[in-house]
Amino acid sequence: MKELLPNITHYRFEFRHLTVLFVVLVIFQFILSFIQKSSLQEFTVETQKWYQQYSAEKIANLTSTSLELIFENIDNSELENPEESQTLIQSFNIIFSQQLLQQNVDDICLLVIKSNAIYAIDDGEVLFDYITGNSGFSSTNNPKHAFAVNAYREINDSIKLSEQVYTILEGIQTFHVFVPFVPNGEYQGVIYMRITPDFTNITREIISSYDEAAIIYSSVIMLGLLAMYYISSFSVKERDKSQRILAEEKEKYIKEQIIHEKESHFTQRIYHTHHKAEKVMGFIKEDLRQISGDDNRILKERMTKYSNFISRVIYDMKWYEPPIQTIRGQSFNTDINELIKFIVDHIFLRLSAPTEIYTFKLDLDDSMPKVPVNEFVSWEVIEPLIQNCIDHANREKILIKISSVYDDTYKRSVVRISDNGQGIIPELLKEVNGIKKIFFESTSTKIVENQNSGYGCYLAYQIATKRCGWQLDAENNEDEGCSFILTIPS
């Protein structure tokens, strides 16, 4: 439950969810009512069937008992008296006729066996002939009792042995009842009755009452569901409206944040490059003082690169996000190896006096192809990485190794900038959302007050990955120092 409840709270109900829930509940209510009605109807039919059989057997049993009592109370002297005989015959007729007068009794007769033949007796006079042994009764056998005679012929032995009531169901509610006729304990045949009890009115009333109750019950539930649906849908609409307004406010806030971040990034980029522009302007002034009448081709090329870099710095000051066609395209054809040599020789090694603080070792692959990226955008990637090796090595003598290798198999160039310093602290090499912390904004190990820091690697990573389409990674070397690996696809 502790795990289930937080998961449920993450989901929110929409208007369509409430609609589906409402429809499901309504359908469920109709199905439930239908199942209950079917169950009640089936129960009523089964109960009715049982009671119909019970009622039919009870009537037949009473009729048989009445005849048995008359038989048992007959006095032989009465059979010789005509008046008494007529009274007895009339009693027999009353029993047969009274049963037929009942609404559900369709047929009645006494089935007896005489000389291996089955006779159906439904008249008092014929029954009197049977009692007195008059042979005239054998010629009177009504064809309408043919079913009873045939059925009795099949079940005679079974009834004679068990002396139990035997019932045959025909159709849904027609019962053929055979009750053993045993006057004075002597089995003489059966009383047959065809009874069709009808309780459809009772069943109809029960189902009708249930339908009325079900309609009232379903109506109350439907009204309750409609009220809940209206209230819930209104609440959901109000919630969605509030969330939409909140989303619009959040979108507005995010846009303002993006604009603010762009301005901040623009300011950081300009701050990071303005001191480089000042240094390069100093180089230009120095080169201008060296101009003489001799061949100044090399000097002019160097000054041209310096001037182009200053132009790029000024151009960057105009844009938050420079157009992609000013960064890369088929019009650019930059030699990364030549750019590395120029940055090393004419930026880092152009000093007023030789230095032993840092030295460079270049191992550049001549087969490395040129890249379709603006030369001075590439400069903004490589120069901060070299500067980072110098600033964070924390050694008296720093050796910076720069190598380039072209992998023809994968069609890519790899530039590796390494130093022999103390390396990068492990915390900065941890990844957050796929980016190592050393490439985060304002991340630095320099302890300098009143000076912005931590933008070199950040800007190099942003320009390399988002503008140039390259990959930039950082790692510590196995022996000492660290390396920045720049992967450039061909």
Pick the most confident of 31-40, 64-73, 78-87, 326-335: 326-335
Which whole number is the average pLDDT over 322-342? 89
**In this structure, are residues 40 and 207 in contact, taking their beta carbons and an 8 Å threshold?**
yes
**In this structure, are residues 384 and 273 in contact, taking their beta carbons and an 8 Å threshold?**
no
A 10 A CB-CB count for 380 gives 24
pLDDT at 423 > cutoff 50: yes
Q: Which tokens belong to 138?
A: 């054998």
A 10 A CB-CB count for 293 gives 5
Q: What is the pTM of this model?
A: 0.44
Strand partners, 416: 403, 485
Q: What ranges in 400-485 are assigned the alpha helix state H?
A: 456-462
The residue that leads in pLDDT, 152 or 279, is 152
The residue that leads in pLDDT, 209 or 247, is 247
Strand partners, 484: 417, 474
Query: Angle at Cα 349 formed by Cα 345 and Cα 352, nearest 5°?
Result: 130
Residues 6+ apart with CB under 8 A from 135: 129
Q: What per-residue confidence (pLDDT) applies to 449?
A: 43
Cβ burial of 52 (10 Å; 0-12, 13-18, 19+) is buried
Domains of the chain: 15-198 (3.30.450.20), 322-489 (3.30.565.10)
Secondary element (H or E) of residue 242: helix 200-289
The Cβ-side half-sphere exposure at 20, using a 13 Å CA radius, reads 5
